[in-house]
Structure 1
Amino acid sequence: MNVLVYNGPGTTPGSVKHVVETLRHFLEPYYAVSTVTAKTLETEPWSSKASAVVFPGGADLPFVKECKPIIPLLKQFVSKQGGVYIGFCAGSYFGSGRVEFAQGNPEMEVTGSRDLKFFKGIARGPAFNGFQYNSELGARAAKLSCLDGLEFSTYYNGGPVFVDADHYDNVEVLARYIEPLDVSYTDSKDRLSIKAPAATILCTVGKGKALLVGAHPEFIPKMLKRSDDAKFISDVVNKLETQEESRLKFMHFILAKAGLTCNTNWEMKREPGLTPIIAATAPDKNYILEDFENNIAKHTSNIENKADHVEFKDQNDTFDLYLGLDKYEQANATLVDKDVIETSKPIILSNKNETFSLPKAAISFNIQKYFDFLSPNNSIGSFLLYGEVVTSTSSLLDNNKTMLSCLPENTVLHVGSVQVTGRGRSGNSWVNPRGVCASTAAISLPLKSPKTGESISIVFVQYLSMLAYCKAITSYAPGFEDLPVRIKWPNDLYALKPDYYYNKKMSLVGKSFDHTLVPLTDIEPAYVKVAGLLVNTNFINNKYSLLLGCGLNLTNDEPTTSLKKWVDILNSERLGLGLACIPRIEVEVLLAKYMNYLQILLETFINYGASTILPEYYKYWLHSDQIVTLTTLGNARAKILGITNDYGLLIAKELMSGSDSCFTGNVYHLQPDGNTFDIFKGLIAKKAT
């Protein structure tokens, strides 16, 4: 499920960053935490696949203007669908019934009703004087007393008190301000009956919850310490650092109270900062590394020779090139306590004939094993970039065009064991935890086929890439043909839900998984996503330059399922039948097989066109004869028959009203409307015949 963080007018970059980092710390891998715009929330069917919507700090008035169209959707998501709304500071003003901010101050006063009304009362602030927009001058370490007895100080900057919160039957006060406030926290005549001022409240709204937080417990002291304001650091941040354990306990407490599932190791330190990227090739292909070095020297203008490495600046990042794997620890030391986005990224080029031996604690990918299973005839995947912890295997290449153009053509596979800014559709980003295989292959395609002279339609690359991955999985070893994985158009990999398998009392061993065992009407409840492909396209040196980024749930079962889970299920079946177990999947072997199939499929496609690969694609997809509703044609129903050979559109024949087998004669070509949550809702239909 998704936790969607609003990132648009009204938010500050710092608030969004702190919210996303903290929520990922507690909620992944159970939820995918990503940012969205108001437009996304207005136009896409997000609510059925989201558990929470979060509004960070900033300014409430721009929220009101930008988010007016989605107010009914947010209300329905919470009250009717049982979702959770979370508002920090400005987000809590926005979620209340009335805002009274800086009353009497003509430059800052904001007073008025609000439409969400999750808390029907007044959010009044700033609770403490001194607030200034885009400044830390009014920031402080505010003391809170929590429902569970915990007392601690947390970052505060302009947030409200929830007036008379104890008077509302649907409100539970989770934390109160301890220190005297600079605004009134009650409008009751009987002040003696009012408890201490409410700083954090949980409102029950229909089937759902609204968590409104006046202060900023989501702010991370370590990140605040990057401020240039020495007084702010000494007066506020240093104090907050001593309260870090309590802050984490409080965040876990309020998220759990709101009904969200927190991970079990939330008290532990998050994944470390970045680690160096190792650049390696098979021993007989060292010339690829030499070509890369030469291209950097020739085509990079912002290059500087340092004492032990070469530094060059690209469009988005700065890179430090080291020679020899013995420099790993030295390069790794430069990344300690550094911002993962802003720091220079070390790349270590392996020496000729160097063995890929590194400290065990520093690497969880066997580079030598990868090359052992990569076909010696392969160009694709023959240049490996591997990092234990990386920003994003796709973004690192896509955002640095100079380095991308310097990489030897059709060779690179970039792999990361952990991605801290993994990239998805619509610019969404998240952490890919351990157990998710994150990789990006860089390939080039000519504009026309050298064999046929026909123009090449790059839309098919997403099909053949996911087909290659699917083939690598199902042919990993004898018995893997029973693994219930299939392709959801156009480029997602789905696996059967274990719960569906158990409820239907299915048996799969020896059946080469026939997906027709699952009715087409059960696709949505029966299958869950285990991998997705993101294709980024550039035009370099008069060729298409494509980045094929993929994240696969290999051993991590959350939030859906994993390949490991299905290996275990099949082995349980096999033991019951007296058969030998199939082996566990090793990431190095799987990626090598993926590259081997990708090379073959790409060559076939370039030379002979899409018609040569589509029959095999159909064997692995879920959609033959699936019936879809065409909302752009008055909810007409049509049956999917295949994919066009030219532009990769779905072919669908319109069904007669009330029939699943009789056709009107109309044939449509279908394409998605940009919807990222459910590709089959809102299909755009163009009449073909």
Structure 2
Amino acid sequence: MNVLVYSGPEVLDTSTQSLQSLRSLLVPNYAIQTINFQSLASQPWAANCAMLVLPACRSALVPTPPFASAIKSYVERGGALLALGASARRQARQPFAGETLEARMARMNVGASSASALRFSDRTSGTLDVTLPGHGEGSYRVDIVEAQDGSTMSAMLSGKAEIVEIEGWKGAEVLGRYGDRGSKEVAGVCCPVGEGKVVFWSALADHSLTEEPVKSILARPDSQVPQQELITAEAQRLKLLRTSFASLGLRLPSDDRSLSRPLPQFLTGTPLKSKIIERITAALSATDLENGPHVLQDSNDTFHFHAASEGRKLLEEARTPSDAPSDSSIWQPKHIIVCTGGNLPSKDDTPLFDISKYYAELDEARHKHVGPTCTGSWGVGEALLYGEVVTSTQTMLDKNPRFMSLLPTPFLSLATHQLAGRGRGGNVWISPAGCLQFSLLLYVPMQTLPTYRVVFVQYLFGLVVVEACRDAGVLGKLGGKVRLKWPNDIYVVLDDGEKRKIGGVLVNTSFNGGSVEVIIGCGLNVLNPPPTTSLQQLVPPDVDIRLSMERTAAVIMAKFEEMWNTFLINRGSFAPFMDLYLERWLHSDQLVTLTTTNPPQQVRVVGITPNHGLLRTMPERGGWSGGNGGEFIDLQPDGNSFDLMAGLIKTKS
């Protein structure tokens, strides 16, 4: 699920601190992403939004009717809204016996919200007008805030906003009051609205007390706060934010500092083919490690390759609690422990992924799906770089061209946690515990895979994942609930018909000489606990299916190699898989509206094009366009939509 942060031109420059505070408190349970004015007003963002955040503004936010309507509808249908630096004013409903229609209309107009307000209504409590006023530099001050548990914050940034008469709202829960204002004004409050909830802070609760502008204000002689009090106040500020999130129904992750920075990774090969690592280290010129690490400097990362004898020491140092910065640009170097001679790290070294078990499961799955490989080569998944905590498996390959070009393939990079995982279109892919995430590097001659057919690699791998879920080693028949959403998402269909995303595929390609370099990235929720939907939640309590990360990864690798071989034999043609793909996707006969034509046109999905992988549709008879239904219309994503099926553009004929 997403936490969306409004990023319009009115938002304060310092509201980047909202993103930092949210990520520090909510990742990995939620993906923090920005949303602009147009997308909020027109895109179908609400379905996958766990919370919408409106940060403090430098100039007043003026919502258009579509903008205001989208937010109101989202909240009333069960959504969660957090508004920071916001003013809120309740107006009670009062009966006026015998009042004429003209008088009632006049009174309603007097009480109507201004053009800059979002208005929420309740039959018993009245109306609630919410505005985000502009906060100029001269409007800032530092206030004392008292939390609902009685604790006192010695400093919190505030501005022009105020919350008025809110306690008459039915179910309102005051989260904080200004302790240095005589009337104990409300600083933060949670209010139920329809089926959802809203939290308003007139204070700028997202702004750190150690960053600007608070830092400069506290430097003034009349505003100074002792350092120890400031440390305590910053901790209380974060606690108030956690309380706000909990009031809105969000599930907070545990505060695990061990996930704040990358850990050393292990370079391994299946014990059945002990020469794998020799070939990889020879290609990397990293053969003499007993005399010290081999250093490989690349565009994005610097890699240090270490002998296995150094592994335990490196791990212990990396696992030591630290206040290391969260800036990924200084997470250098990347340490890689090389396991030679068929040796593997112990389960104590990799407690969240048993590499020995993975290779055993892979051997069994390969016997079922693939068979033996040629002498001197290895199969998909038999060369593995594993890290418990990494930045991004995809970035470490495609942003480091020297490292990538030296690696023999196939080469698999797999992680338990990613600190900067990547999804389609630059989106963040969150990776909470239980998510299987990996990147697979392949080199293919262009004579085997023509460039115009590379687009089908993402479709093929999505199909592989869905088929692997149906394998007896994973979910068996229960895997039938796992489906494809075009072009590259993995969904499950729950018993009540609700569709939820559990994974996705990201493919990066580059062309080097006569070869195509392919990096297939994939994330799949396998064992995640709620609120994240995962494969584990498809297993009823009385069914004896024991999912494991190791077996799931192994089955996917073996299944992919089986289907990949067929794909290459047919020079990248998707024809052998097309019927199965259309059985597994969610879109057969789906009606969609093509909004980029004038007038908008209703079309019905019939498949994907065999040469370029576009979405093939036909005009709907009697649709808004008045089409005759006799010709194909091929579509592609517009690249800007939250729901790709809602953002389609017609390809040029």
TM-score (norm 2): 0.77
Check conservation: 1:420, 1:430, Cα contact below 8 A. Answer: no
Q: Do the aligned residues in 1 keep the contact of 2:161 with 2:203 (CA within 8 Å)? A: no
Aligned twin of 2:246: 256
- 2:620 and 2:131 map into 1 onto residues whose CA distance is 55
The aligned length equals 589
Residue 473 of structure 1 pairs with residue 445 of structure 2: no
Q: Secondary structure at the match of 2:575?
A: helix
Deviations 1:225-283 (CA, angstroms, capped at 9, x unpaired): xx9xx999x966643444576445422322233x32333x6567674532211111124
Match of 1:330 among 314, 317, 325: 314
Distance 1:404 1:128, change over 3 A: same
Q: Are 2:49 and 1:84 aligned? A: no
The alignment status of 1:282 with 2:280, answered yes or no, reads: no
Q: Distance in 2 between matches of 1:122 and 1:605?
A: 57
Q: Residue 485 of structure 1: which of 482, 487, 495 is its match?
A: 482
1:680: how far off? 2.0
| Residue identity opposite 1:60 in structure 2 | R
1:617 lines up with 2:585 in the alignment: no
- CA 1:167 to 1:40, structure 2 compared with 1: closer, same or farther past 3 Å? closer
How far off its partner does 1:15 sit? 0.5
Give distance in 1, aligned partners of 2:151 and 2:46: 34
Aligned to 2:569: 607
- What residue in structure 2 maps to residue 665 of structure 1? 630
Question: Partner of 2:122 in structure 1?
Answer: none
Question: In structure 2, the residue corresponding to 1:422 is in which secondary structure?
Answer: coil
**Residue number in structure 1 paired with 2:104:** none
Structure 1 residues 606 and 231: CA distance shift in structure 2, 3 A: farther
Distance 1:598 1:371 in 2: 16
2:473–2:552 Cα contact (<8 Å) kept: no
Residue equivalent to 2:106: none
CA drift at 1:366: 1.3
Residue aligned with 2:453, SS: coil
- Is the Cα contact below 8 Å between 1:35 and 1:428 reproduced in 2? no
Q: Structure 1 residue 196 and structure 2 residue 194: aligned? A: no
Deviation at 1:475, TM superposition (A): 1.6
Please state how far the C-alpha of 1:322 moved relative to its aligned partner. Answer: 1.6
C-alpha deviations, 1:448-496, integer Å up to 9, x for none?
A: 337xxx5542110111001111222212439703422222222222222
Decide which of 538, 551, 560 is 1:598's aligned counterpart: 560
Question: Contact (CA 8 Å) 1:78, 1:207: kept in 2 or not?
Answer: no
Structure 2 counterpart of 1:600, one-letter code: E
Asked if 1:380 is matched to 2:352, the reply is no
1:448 match: 447
Give 1:115 deviation, angstroms.
1.8
Contact 1:555 1:564 in 2 (8 A): yes
Q: Map 1:617-656 to 2 at 5 A.
A: 617-632=581-596, 634=599, 636-656=601-621
> Percent identity, aligned pairs only?
28
Residue 309 of structure 1 pairs with residue 273 of structure 2: no
Query: SS of the residue aligned with 2:517?
Result: strand
CA drift at 1:363: 2.7
Specify the SS of the correspondent of 2:630: strand
The equivalent residue for 1:585 is 547
1:24-66 Cα shifts (integer Å, max 9, x gaps): 15xx63x443333445435532133323221446x623x859x
Q: 1:209 to 1:566 in 2, by over 3 A?
A: closer
Structure 1 residues 208, 596: CA separation in 2 closer, same or farther (over 3 Å shift)? closer
Q: Deviations over 1:321-363 (max 9, x none)?
A: 2221542432551474323512214332323225323362643
Whether the 8 Å CA contact 1:161–1:197 is kept in 2: the answer is no
The correspondence of residues 233-272 of structure 1 with structure 2, limited to 5 A, is 238-242=228-232, 246-257=236-247, 259-263=248-252, 266=254, 271-272=259-260
1:142-157 alignment runs, 5 A limit = 143-153=144-154, 156-157=156-157
Where 1:680 maps in the other structure, the secondary structure is helix
Q: Distance in 1 between the 2:549 and 2:159 partners?
A: 49
**Residue of structure 2 in register with 1:366 after alignment:** 354
Take 1:314 and 1:96, find their aligned partners in 2: how far apart are those partners? 56
Q: 1:568–1:161: structure 2 CA closer, same or farther, 3 Å change rule?
A: same
- Computed over aligned residues only, the root mean square deviation of the Cα atoms, in angstroms, reads 4.2
Name the CA distance, whole Å, in 2 between partners of 1:558 and 1:288.
39
Deviations 1:353-411 (A, max 9, x none): 25323362643111122222144625332321111122222233233333222322x32
- Going from structure 1 to structure 2, the CA distance change for 1:120 and 1:469 (only over 3 Å counts) comes to closer
The answer to whether 1:555 aligns with 2:555 is: no
* Post-superposition offset of 1:433: 0.8
Q: Secondary structure at the match of 1:624?
A: coil
Secondary structure of the structure 2 residue equivalent to 1:666 = coil
Segment drifting more, 273-282 vs 118-127: 118-127
Aligned mate of 1:21, from 11, 20, 23: 23
Q: How does 1:147-546 map to 2 (within 5 A)?
A: 147-153=148-154, 156-157=156-157, 159-160=158-159, 162-163=161-162, 165-166=164-165, 169-170=168-169, 173-179=174-180, 195-202=183-190, 209-215=197-203, 217-218=205-206, 238-242=228-232, 246-257=236-247, 259-263=248-252, 266=254, 271-283=259-271, 285=273, 287-296=275-284, 308-324=292-308, 326-334=310-318, 336-340=322-326, 341=328, 342-358=330-346, 360=348, 362-372=350-360, 373-374=362-363, 375=366, 377=373, 378-408=378-408, 410-429=409-428, 431-449=430-448, 455-477=451-473, 480-483=476-479, 484-498=481-495, 500=496, 525-546=497-518
Whether the 8 Å contact between 1:278 and 1:385 is mirrored in structure 2 is yes
- Say which SS state the counterpart of residue 429 (structure 1) adopts: coil
The answer to whether the Cα contact below 8 Å between 2:273 and 2:342 also exists between their aligned partners in 1 is no
- 2: CA distance, partners of 1:282 / 1:604: 24
2:267–2:385 Cα contact (<8 Å) kept: yes
Q: Is the 8 Å Cα contact of residues 448 and 456 (structure 1) preserved in structure 2?
A: no
| Alpha-carbon separation, structure 2, partners of 1:235 and 1:326 | 46
Q: How many angstroms does 1:564 deviate by?
A: 1.8
Q: How far apart, CA to CA, are the structure 2 residues paired with 1:40 and 1:313?
A: 40
Q: Per the alignment, do residues 166 and 42 of structure 1 end up closer, same or farther by CA in structure 2, a change over 3 Å counting?
A: closer
In structure 2, relative to structure 1, the CA distance for the partners of 1:605 and 1:128 (3 Å cut) is closer
Counterpart Cα distance in 1 of 2:227 and 2:291? 36
Change (3 A) 1:563 1:206: closer
Question: Contact 1:325 / 1:351 at 8 angstroms: preserved in 2?
Answer: no
CA contact (8 A) 2:265 2:335 kept: yes
Match of 1:60 in 2: 58
Q: 1:151 to 1:235 in 2, by over 3 A?
A: closer
- 2:532 and 2:311 mapped to 1: Cα distance? 39
1:620/1:324 Cα in 2 relative to 1: closer, same or farther (>3 Å)? same
Contact 2:270 2:382 in 1 (8 A): yes
Q: Do the aligned residues in 2 keep the contact of 1:449 with 1:456 (CA within 8 Å)?
A: no
The CA distance in 2 between the partners of 1:598 and 1:672, in whole Å, is 26
Unaligned runs of 5+ in 2: 91-113, 120-127, 367-371
Matched to 1:486, the amino acid is: R
